[in-house]
Amino acid sequence: MSLLEKLKNYKYQKPEEKPKNPNAEYLDSFKRIVARGLSELNKIRPNNPITFLAEWLYNESESREILLGIENCHKQKELLDKKYLELQQKKAEEQAKKDKIEEEKRKQKEDLEKSITTCEDFEDHLNEICEKFKNIIGATGVYISKYDLKRKYPIDPDADENGHIDPSNTKVLQYVNWCNDHSFLHHQFLSPSEGVTYKLIGKGEGDDEEGEGENPEEKKEEEEGDGDDEEKKEKEPKEEVLKHLIIEEVVNEPKMKFFREPRLGCYYAIDIRYQSSMQYSSLLSAIENFKEYKVKKEEQDKRLAEKEEEEKQKAQEEGTQEKNEEKDKEKEEEEFEEEENKKEGDEEEIPT
């Protein structure tokens, strides 16, 4: 076999590892320390070398334990610092998320306040306001009901101005506005014997119409409130709190009215009373619009009068022209008849 063939067929064989001697491994774990002790012993050359070497090894053992303890403390400190940084980073991320949510809520509140304060007619934007309230407070739904005469559906198109009122002539809580996903409340109402909201407004089955909106506590304070005026002035004005009603868990309330399937959740209602939904600026705007309407109406009436006058003059001119044409036609007919009569007279004078 040639050398080239031997090289081609050569296979590398890893040398077998010799088993380590356990005694050698044990000695390797501390032989360097012993060698350092012997080196120190050779340098100092004490009178009692065995005692010196023993003390040196004992001190070296303690120092190594101390160093190991310090090293472990450093490692634990690094782990704690790492965890602390992770927690701080996590807190910073959570705070950033909270700040972002708060900023979004603040913008939503500003947008809501702007839409309320700048709208010309508040009632025209109540559905939009319900949707914004829902997004701000994170509610499942927001809706508005009005305590008014029961409405009738469908409304007869030929009915009078009271055709939308139910013949029973009873007052109910009629749902008039709602957020986007609560349109099922359209044409829905709460009768006085249903639901829990009538507790809030002081109405219900068997209640009188008198005293609507009166708070018994306020009435009692008015009767008993004959104190000094100076003491009343010294008292700081309290923030007005609207009357409200909270049901912590609606499924546990037997009087709760459900228009769909019952669901877990809280019910919160506020009693809001107002005399007008139109703002002063809206009233001024309405007056200006009415003035502008009057001016435009006068201009329109003037244009219509001018147009009618033009049409009248045009009709007169067309009538005069037609009369002239008729006269010309009659004149032509008369001339034609005269010529015909003249021809007939000439034929009669010819002798036979």
143, 175 in Cβ contact below 8 A? yes
Q: Whole-number mean pLDDT of the chain?
A: 79
Q: Exposure string (b/e) for 13-50, b if CB count within 10 Å is 16 or more?
A: eeeeeeeeeeeeeeeeeeeeeeeebeeeeeeeeeeeee
Give dist(CA 191, CA 247) in Å, integer. 19
Cβ-Cβ contacts under 8 Å for 195 (sequence gap 6 or more) = 173, 255, 256, 257
Give dist(CA 346, CA 342) in Å, integer. 6
Give dist(CA 115, CA 111) in Å, integer. 6
pLDDT tens digit sequence for 99-129 = 998 898 888 888 888 877 777 667 778 888 8
pLDDT tens digit sequence for 202-249 = 876 654 444 444 444 444 444 444 555 555 555 565 667 788 889 999
Residue 238, token pair as written in the block: 């309290």
pLDDT tens digit sequence for 153-176 = 777 777 777 777 777 778 889 888
What does residue 21 show for φ and ψ, rounded to 5 degrees? -80, 120
What predicted TM-score, i.e. pTM, was given to this entire model? 0.47
Cβ-Cβ contacts under 8 Å for 201 (sequence gap 6 or more) = 147, 173, 212, 213, 271
Q: Exposure string (b/e) for 311-335, b if CB count within 10 Å is 16 or more?
A: eeeeeeeeeeeeeeeeeeeeeeeee
256, 267 in Cβ contact below 8 A? yes
- SS3 track for 89-147: HHHHHHHHHHHHHHHHHHHHHHHHHHHHHHCCEHHHHHHHHHHHHHHHHCCCCCEEEEE
Degrees to nearest 5, angle at CA 333 with 330 and 337 = 140
Structural domain boundaries in the chain:
31-118, 129-206+242-274
Residue 128, token pair as written in the block: 């939009």
Give dist(CA 294, CA 281) in Å, integer. 20
Tens digits of pLDDT across the chain (352 residues): 577 777 667 776 666 666 667 777 777 777 888 888 888 888 888 888 888 888 888 888 888 788 888 888 888 889 999 999 999 999 999 999 999 988 988 888 888 888 777 776 677 788 888 888 888 888 889 988 888 888 877 777 777 777 777 777 788 898 888 888 888 888 888 888 888 888 888 876 654 444 444 444 444 444 444 555 555 555 565 667 788 889 999 999 988 988 888 888 899 998 888 776 566 666 777 788 888 888 998 998 899 999 888 888 888 887 787 777 787 788 877 777 777 777 766 655 555 4
Which residues lie across from 143 on neighbouring strands?
A: 178
Residue 23, token pair as written in the block: 């005694």
